[in-house]
Structures are given as structure tokens and as C-alpha cells.
Amino acid sequence: MAKRFLLLLTLLLAVTVTESEAYSTTTTRPFQGYKPEKFTHLHFYFHDVISGDKPTAIRVAEAPGTNSSAIKFGVIMIADDPLTEGPDPSSKEIGRAQGMYASTDLKDLIFTMVFNLAFTEGQFKGSTLSMYGRNAIMSKVREMPIIGGTGCFRFARGYAQAKTYKLVGQDAVVEYNVFIWH
């Protein structure tokens, strides 16, 4: 009986070892249709509306001292902001900036931005870019990294430059220039 069990266990291990897949493989083309290393420059406007009847960004959390802080330290906002071709809110919408930002600096008005730029029009319709970084919004031009993407932007890497175009109260129109390799 013990011999049969040992033989069965040996056969089972042999089958398991021969049918296991490797931990990793390296290929020159990871999947069909991927042609790496295109460079793309995108230019659009981001509309962050906090006021009014139809805000595109809302406060979802805050720290106990947020309201007494001049820079609103600890506030967390969730946004679904339109991206348009021009600075006017009625210009053609080409996508949405969906994500969140939080006031993360004790001394200055600085946000940590976590956004998916989801394109809904044009040649990049259905594709996204992922942006994650520090936004010192009082600086004239800010730079944030592009850390990935989907669709046309698979394997994307690069950076976004943001420049405030217009600020009315807490509502902002921000001009974006995005430079990506994909």
C-alpha cells in the first residue's frame, strides 16, 4: 500500500511540474498590434466647478481643522471634470478628468492629484491616461507625471503641464499641455 501511494505521489508531482507555467517570459512584442514609442502632445482645458447647481467636483472628506485652515489642509475632493478643446465651458468636450485631489501641504495650497483622463471624442476616444502627482496650484506652471494609460495610450509615460487660465471664486479653468510616449 505504501509503495502504491509513493508511486502515485511521484507521478502526481511529475505531472504538476511538467504542466506548470514559467513565472515570467520576455518577448520583443508583448502582444499583437503593439507598436511602441510614439510621441503625442495633447492640449486641452480642464473645468473644475465647485459652485452652483451642477458642480463637477465635490468635497467628500475633511480633517477636523480643515475649515479653520487658510489652505484647507485635509480636504478631499472627488471630481468628474470636463476636458474641452477651448477655455470656454461650451467648447467641444473631448473627455473627462475623473478622480480625486486632496490638500496635502501644511503651509501652502498644494494638492495631490489622482486622475484618469478619459477621452470621449476624436482619435483617442475610449483611451485613458493616468496622472498622479503634486499640484502646487499657486505656481504659474505645474508639472505632474503621467504614469500609465489604456487603449491608444498603453504603456504611456510622460508629464502634464498645468497652467491656471481662469479662476472665479473656487471654480477653475486650467490649461493642460500633456506630453507622452506610448
For the record, the C-alpha cell of 53 comes out as 447647481
Query: Which pLDDT does position 173 carry in this prediction?
Result: 98
- Rounded Cα gap, residues 100 and 35, in angstroms: 32
**Considering all CA atoms of the chain, what is the largest pairwise distance in Å, rounded to the nearest integer?**
84
Domain map of the chain by residue range? 39-181
φ/ψ (deg, to 5) at 10? -65, -45
- Rounded Cα gap, residues 110 and 167, in angstroms: 16
Query: Which pLDDT does position 88 carry in this prediction?
Result: 97
For the record, the C-alpha cell of 120 comes out as 470621449
The amino acid present at 135, given as its one-letter code, is N
CATH architecture of the domain formed by 39-181 = Beta Barrel (2.40)
Q: pLDDT in tens for each of the 182 residues of the chain? A: 666 655 555 655 555 555 556 565 555 555 566 566 799 999 999 999 999 999 999 999 988 877 777 778 889 999 999 999 999 999 999 999 999 999 999 899 999 999 999 999 999 999 999 999 999 999 999 999 999 999 999 999 999 999 999 999 999 999 999 999 99
- Report angle CA 182, 91, 94 to the nearest 5 degrees: 25
Query: Which pLDDT does position 19 carry in this prediction?
Result: 52
Please say whether the beta carbons of 175 and 162 come within 8 A.
yes
Query: Which pLDDT does position 44 carry in this prediction?
Result: 98
DSSP state of 17: H
